[in-house]
C-alpha cells in the first residue's frame, strides 16, 4: 500500500510538471506549486483581460525555492472572440515572472516589451547557466508572428533567492546587415574568449562580444573585444 501511494504521488507530480512545462527543475511538488501559484497571481493581476497562458516554466532559486516564468496573451472584452472562445490570435505574447515574496506568497512582475520591438511576437522560454556558479538564467526568445518578418531577439533575466523581482541582464535584437546592406538574422551563444566566458552574437560577418560586469550586474557590449574577436576570425587557420 505504501509503495502504491508513493507511485501515485510521483505520477501526480510528473503530471503537474508536464502540464505546466516545469521540466527544467527537479521533479518535486514544490516547483509544480510555484507555477500553479504564479498562474493564479497572474489571473488576479491581469483580470478579465487575461487570455491564454501558453507556457509556464519553473525557475529554481534553490533546492526548496522556486519561481515561474509565464507566457500569456490578453483579450479585448468587447471582441467577438469573447463569444467564440478564440483569444489572443493576433496579439503579441507577453511575459510575466513570479517569484516568492518572502511572506508565503508570490510577487508577479509583468515584463514590458523591449524598446526596439516594433511588431507582434511569439515568445519561448528556457533556462541556461550563463555566468557560472550554478545559477541558471531565464532566456526569453522573441520571434515575429509574421512569417515574412526576420525579426528575432533574446533577453536574459537573472534571479537571487530572497529578491522578489527579476533583473534583466541583457536584451538585444538579432539583427545584422551584410556588407551589401542585406538584413540577416544573427545567432547567439556562450564562448570562451580571452580567458573569459562571453556572450557572442554574430551575423552578416559581424561579431558582438558581451562581457559580464560585476559593478553593473549585467552583460555589456565590448566594442574593443568585438574588434579583436573579428580580427581573430579573419586570420588564416
| Judgement on whether residues 166 and 132 belong to the same structural domain of the protein | yes
Single out the residue of 176, 237, 166, 165 nearest to residue 206, CA to CA: 176
Does 223 share its domain with 158?
no
Cα 165 from Cα 99, distance rounded (Å): 7
Are 235 and 208 in a shared domain?
Answer: yes
Residue 190's domain comprises 175-237
Instruction: Look up the pTM and report it.
Output: 0.80
* Local confidence pLDDT in tens for the 237 residues of the chain: 434 443 433 343 333 333 334 434 444 455 678 999 999 999 999 999 999 999 999 999 998 899 999 999 998 655 444 444 444 445 799 999 999 998 889 999 999 999 999 999 999 999 999 987 778 999 999 999 998 898 999 999 999 888 999 999 999 999 988 888 888 999 999 999 999 999 999 998 899 999 999 999 999 999 999 999 999 887 766
User: 92 and 110 share a domain?
Assistant: yes
161 shares its domain with 181: no
Q: Which one of 173, 205, 226 terminates a domain? A: 173
167 & 152 share domain:
yes
In this structure, the answer to whether residues 132 and 237 fall within a common structural domain is no
Number of domains in the chain: 2
Same domain for 69 and 44, yes or no, is yes
| 125 lies in the same domain as 169 | yes
Same domain, 31 and 82: yes
- Structural domain ending residue among the three candidates 173, 199, 219: 173
Judge if 144 and 211 occupy the same domain: no
Amino acid at each position: 500500500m505504501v509503495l502504491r501511494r508513493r507511485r501515485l504521488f510521483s505520477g501526480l507530480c510528473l503530471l503537474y510538471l508536464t502540464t505546466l512545462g516545469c521540466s527544467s527543475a527537479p521533479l518535486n511538488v514544490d516547483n509544480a506549486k510555484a507555477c500553479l501559484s504564479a498562474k493564479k497571481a497572474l489571473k488576479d493581476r491581469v483580470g478579465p483581460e487575461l487570455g491564454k497562458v501558453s507556457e509556464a516554466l519553473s525557475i529554481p532559486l534553490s533546492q526548496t525555492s522556486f519561481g515561474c516564468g509565464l507566457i500569456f496573451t490578453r483579450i479585448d472584452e468587447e471582441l467577438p472572440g469573447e463569444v467564440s472562445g478564440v483569444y489572443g490570435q493576433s496579439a503579441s505574447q507577453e511575459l510575466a515572472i513570479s517569484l516568492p515574496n518572502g511572506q508565503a506568497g508570490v510577487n508577479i512582475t509583468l515584463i514590458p516589451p523591449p524598446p526596439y520591438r516594433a511588431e507582434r511576437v511569439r515568445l519561448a522560454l528556457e533556462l541556461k547557466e550563463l555566468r557560472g556558479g550554478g545559477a541558471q538564467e531565464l532566456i526569453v526568445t522573441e520571434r515575429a508572428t509574421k512569417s515574412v518578418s526576420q525579426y528575432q531577439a533574446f533577453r536574459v533575466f537573472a534571479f537571487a533567492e530572497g529578491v522578489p523581482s527579476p533583473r534583466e541582464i541583457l536584451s538585444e535584437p538579432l539583427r545584422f546587415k551584410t556588407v551589401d546592406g542585406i538584413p540577416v538574422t544573427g545567432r547567439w551563444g556562450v564562448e570562451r574568449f580571452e580567458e573569459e566566458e562571453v556572450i557572442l552574437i554574430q551575423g552578416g560577418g559581424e561579431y558582438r562580444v558581451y562581457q559580464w560586469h560585476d559593478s553593473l550586474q549585467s552583460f555589456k557590449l565590448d566594442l574593443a573585444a568585438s574588434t579583436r574577436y573579428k580580427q581573430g576570425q579573419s586570420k588564416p587557420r
